[in-house]
Amino acid sequence: MEENCHYYKMFGFNRKFKSTERRPPPDVTDAFSLCTSSESQMSPDHFRRFLIEFQGEEEVTIDDAKRTMELLLRRFRPNFSLCSFTLDDFFNYLILDDLNGPIPSEVRHDMTAPLHHYFIYTGHNSYLTGNQLYSDCSEVPIIKALHKGVRVIELDLWPNSAKDGIHVLHGRTMTTPVRPSKCLKSIKEHAFVKSPYPVIITLEDHLTPNLRAKFAEMATEIFGDMLYCLKTGDSDEFPSPEELKHHIILSTKPPKEYLESKLEEELVVGEETPYGCKSGNPTDETMSSNQDDNMSNLNQNLSQFMDFEDEDGDVGDEKPGEKTPPEYIQLIGIHAAKAKKGLRNALKVASGKGKRLSLGEQNLERAADLYGTDLVRFTQKNFVRVFPKGTRVTSTNFKPLLAWMHGAQMVASNMQGYGRSLWMMHGMFRSNGGCGYVKKPDFLMRRGPNNEVFDPKATLHVKKTLKVKVYMGDGWHIDFKQTHFDTYSPPDFYTKMYMVGVPADVTEKKTRVIKNDWTPIWDEEFTFPLTVPELALLKIVVRDNDVSEKDDFAGQTCLPVSELRSGIRSVPLHNEKGDKLQSVKLLMRFAFE
């Protein structure tokens, strides 16, 4: 084994920095030999055989194989004369994630179903650059989110201090405002850079009728024919993502409904209004739990600042008898509606075009616990949007799986945030070519002869088993300084895998620690039995083992199991914020039984 040695003289003694030469694992060498009949060169025909027999790419042609080989050869041997692979060429192909990644890069799902049949990549307070209390508001995080494929952008609309203009900001906080025109123009310019499918703008509307008229004029002038508006005679089903390509959809509560009765409870069920007060009149069903929540919140420092969010807005300084102009109401493509008698009543499915129900994360948990199948049934005809609780002032996020298990289409995340929950969000929406729309599994849309639906609490049998082999890792010596993980020696890497999904599928596995090596070779296989593979995510985290301190983070990714390509694949890793590392990757094999 050849080694590149680097010597550091520290405190009067030397330490050797070892970097093992990257070489193919035995499985790669064996695959090369089997497909080439032990010849030293792999022809396009041989390579096609490998893609079909080992990688499961049954529809690949000789021309496809040759085209891929030429792409690789141009990178490493620009003056090649013969289209053939050596073992090193073959290994170079396998380790390149842009040619041999773990999930497909194209849109594969049926995009002609109604809009509410999809999970949709959703942002929360999309204009914030940082925390929820005093960060700047800007169009920049909106642009970043759109470039990552986010399809639902949230804007909070408030009157300025003179009540003659509109600000976008997180109300009743110290966040600095940004002009709505800036946000809308940025959305128009960047909406379809990553994906052609519709962008939904959810509005938290605190405007007076005259300011709503200004906003309607502004939105119409900026978006024009891009805006999707409801028309008389529209069918009960929403149009499909395919039909709505390159369209903008506004979603908020039609304000005229507020004037009908201030005593009606909004569909924002149980979320706090400013200073810990509940909105609406709770019924006996929710009264005791709401009181408990309020007492708990009173015991929290900063609760008066944290529990301010009324997700679909209020009426600002609207006077009785004032009417919101019809041009504003006509722009609302997805209506957030009202409910009168608590959470369970809100989940009753009415006839007519669906509505949008917003739930805070704690009320999602309550709905899932008490009325799980009602929630699933509701999402078959309507939208559900779930948003982070107000106490997440540092822009952390909640785990999205519970919402997806119950069919919620819009799981709102603080995209400027951080953490494992956001990694899961990134993982889910790597599906379907990263277009921001993921078709909900069929079992979430089916109804039985007695109107029964999928029950997330039911005990299920294993449907599929995923086998994962972790061969090796590479690229840290390029992307990181030699002293990043340890001042005196190379890192001690290990890989940990977490299966995330329905409770029965949740598990974790760990490789052994490879000491003092920038190019670790594990060559270990793990098995994951899955009852609901359609909702499973494989979270992969590499760390440097440290006996005296917390293990150092060395990369992560989260992959949708339903989209995994079988065979030997290159898996690129990302930093803690979710940005792709330039060179770091794992070589892995995936197989289903």
The β-bridge relationship of strands 118-123 and 437-439 is antiparallel
- The CB density around residue 106, as the number of other CB atoms within 10 Å, is 8
Please give the Cα distance from 361 to 338 (Å, whole number): 19
Please give the Cα distance from 500 to 505 (Å, whole number): 7
Q: Give the largest Cα separation in the chain, rounded.
A: 86
Q: What angle do CA 82, 87, 93 make, to 5 degrees?
A: 80
Please give the Cα distance from 500 to 400 (Å, whole number): 10
Please give the Cα distance from 486 to 8 (Å, whole number): 12
Active-site residue, from 46, 170, 426, 477? 170
- DSSP lists the bridge partners of residue 137 as 128
* Helices of type H across 357-487: 361-379, 401-405, 420-428, 476-479
The answer to whether the beta carbons of residues 427 and 410 sit under 8 Å apart is no
What phi and psi, each to the nearest 5 degrees, are found at residue 375?
-65, -45
Active-site residue, from 124, 206, 247, 335? 124
In terms of phi and psi (left: phi > 0; alpha: psi -120 to 50; beta: otherwise), the region of 540 is beta
The answer to whether the beta carbons of residues 35 and 52 sit under 8 Å apart is no
Please give the Cα distance from 278 to 269 (Å, whole number): 10
The answer to whether the beta carbons of residues 31 and 52 sit under 8 Å apart is no
Q: Is 246 a catalytic residue?
A: no
Q: Is 109 a catalytic residue?
A: no
Catalytic positions are 124, 170
